Amino acid sequence: MTPRLVTLMITGALAVGWLSGSSTQSPPPAQSPRGSEGVRAVGSSTPIVQQAERLRQHMVQPPQPARGRNPFVYGSRPSVRSTSYRDHETPDVAPAPVPAAPAPPPLPIFKLSGIASNNEGGTVVLTAIMNDNGAMAFVKTGDKLSRGYTVVRVEENSVTLADAEGITQTIRLP
């Protein structure tokens, strides 16, 4: 079979199917001419009056209470009047003010990023690569950092810092 013959057979089958489908369908119903059924007298609209009456009755009825609590609706609860002791009048006594404690100063943020070594004059000098409150700093023993901190010692895995009062802290590599 040639491709042309296959195409003709498919086209013929489609045409026969279409023609047979359209002949088996029932014709559309003929529209009836509007006679006495299409025109109503003004006073004879009983279905509309009945529907309007049902709507009026529905609007007059009180609304049905909601079932349960809606978790998506927030509001205050109605006040409940009780006769307990706490509802009796008592003199207003203001609580004593609590003195506010001064906030401690924020701790400095030092992070150790790495340690570098360098030979200077035949000795190994270690340099710490630190993050000093967001700024990169290359520090050696004896250098000053922000907020009065001093580098006391730089070792292969850690740096020891001292504040102005002499309190030390050691920061290690992660």
What's the one-letter identity of residue 18?
Answer: W
Measured between alpha carbons, how far is 167 from 107 in angstroms, rounded to an integer?
13
**pLDDT, position 35:** 47
Using a cut of 0.85, tell me whether the model's pTM lies above it. Answer: no
**Spatial contact of 169 and 161, defined as CB atoms under 8 Å apart:** yes
In this structure, the dihedral spanned by the alpha carbons of residues 45, 46, 50 and 51, taken in order and rounded to 10 degrees, is: -40
Tell me the per-residue pLDDT of 2-14, one tens digit each, with 9 for 90 and over: 989 999 999 999 8
- Only one residue has tokens 């049902």, namely 54
Residue 20's pLDDT is 77
CA-to-CA separations, 155 to 4, 143, 159, 171, in angstroms, rounded: 89, 14, 6, 10
Query: What is the torsional sign of CA 145, 141, 168, 163?
Result: negative
Selection from 104, 105, 128, 106 nearest residue 115 by Cα? 128
How would CATH label the architecture of 110-172? Answer: Roll (2.30)
Determine the pLDDT at residue 150: 93
The tokens describing 144, both together, are: 């000053």
Using the structure block, give the residue that is written with the tokens 């004879």: 44
CA distance 144 to 42: 101
Mean pLDDT value across the chain: 78
Listed as ranges, residues in the chain with pLDDT below 50 are 35-36
The closest alpha carbon to 138, from 148, 149, 151, belongs to 151
Helices (H), 25-134: 46-60
Helix (H) or strand (E) holding 23: helix 3-24
